[in-house]
Structure 1
Amino acid sequence: MADARHGLGNRGEALAADYLEKHGYTIRERNYRVPNLGEIDIVAEEAGCLVYVEVRTRRGRAYGTPEDSITVAKKLRLVQLAMSYRQEHADLPLPGDERIDVVAVELTPAGRVFRIEIIKNAIGV
């Protein structure tokens, strides 16, 4: 079960990265990790803004939409991860503005793409 979820998550992240690039985002980094805190799925730039992207993938809606699965605890961790990224990369020229977007990836039960949506500024930084 964990392998199936991991595979689904990896597929969702790949689909999201392609979708973001097609919509004008430049991918800077994928799977930025901080020990004991977690990871940011994608770090990108879009229109002069540094964007931290959380990708949520679901197959079907039995448990709600992908974006519905983000808990308050996850939102807090994402804000902490964004701050950590900014501190760790303080020597790099980074855009002044930043935000956290969510990319919701929904697949049919057969595994076909049903919906991919970018939800801009979904979580306050």
Structure 2
Amino acid sequence: MAQKDLLGKAGEELAAQFLEDAGYTVLDRNWHCRHGEIDLIVCDGAETAFVEVKTRRSVAYGHPFEAISAAKMGRMRRLAALWCEVHPGAPAIRLDAIAIIWPRDAAPSIEHLKGVH
């Protein structure tokens, strides 16, 4: 597995733990269908959040949030609708994003944006 893939996997694991520590319940990890994949799906009280996680070693090539394009958000909305079809009765939904900056020789920093569009 490539280093960037290992970093991404570790970032998703860290994000899941971060959300669980904040009181969220993880419903699904790396849920996929033929149209794409959602990194994390979590329950936050009365809402289901579909979470895109971006992990980088630094901001040398831009902040991780900058890697989440309008096209990616549109795909997430479609995937969230498909997940809801498979899981009827899910509470209200929202799209979230988590950015992790994880330098090789330092502790990671995590930012969580709720309700991104």
TM-score range, shorter chain: over 0.9
Q: Which structure 1 segments of 5+ residues have no match?
A: none
Aligned in 2, Cα 1:57/1:111: closer, same or farther, shift over 3 Å? farther
Q: How far did residue 120 of structure 1 move?
A: 0.4
Post-superposition offset of 1:111:
5.0
How many angstroms does 1:28 deviate by? 0.5
Per the alignment, do residues 21 and 3 of structure 1 end up closer, same or farther by CA in structure 2, a change over 3 Å counting?
same
Sequence identity percentage: 36
Q: TM-score, normalised by structure 2?
A: 0.93
What secondary structure is seen at the aligned counterpart in 1 of 2:51?
strand
Output the aligned Cα RMSD: 1.3
Is the 1:60–1:107 contact (alpha carbons within 8 Å) kept by the matching residues of 2?
Answer: yes
**Structure 2 match to 1:107:** 102
- Structure 1 match to 2:90: 94
State the alpha-carbon separation in 1 of the partners of residues 47 and 4 from structure 2. Answer: 31
> Structure 2 stretches of 5 or more lacking a match?
none
How far off is 1:82 after superposition? 0.4
Residues 67-76 or 10-19, more deviating: 67-76
In the alignment, what sits opposite 1:78?
76
The CA deviation at 1:89 is: 1.2
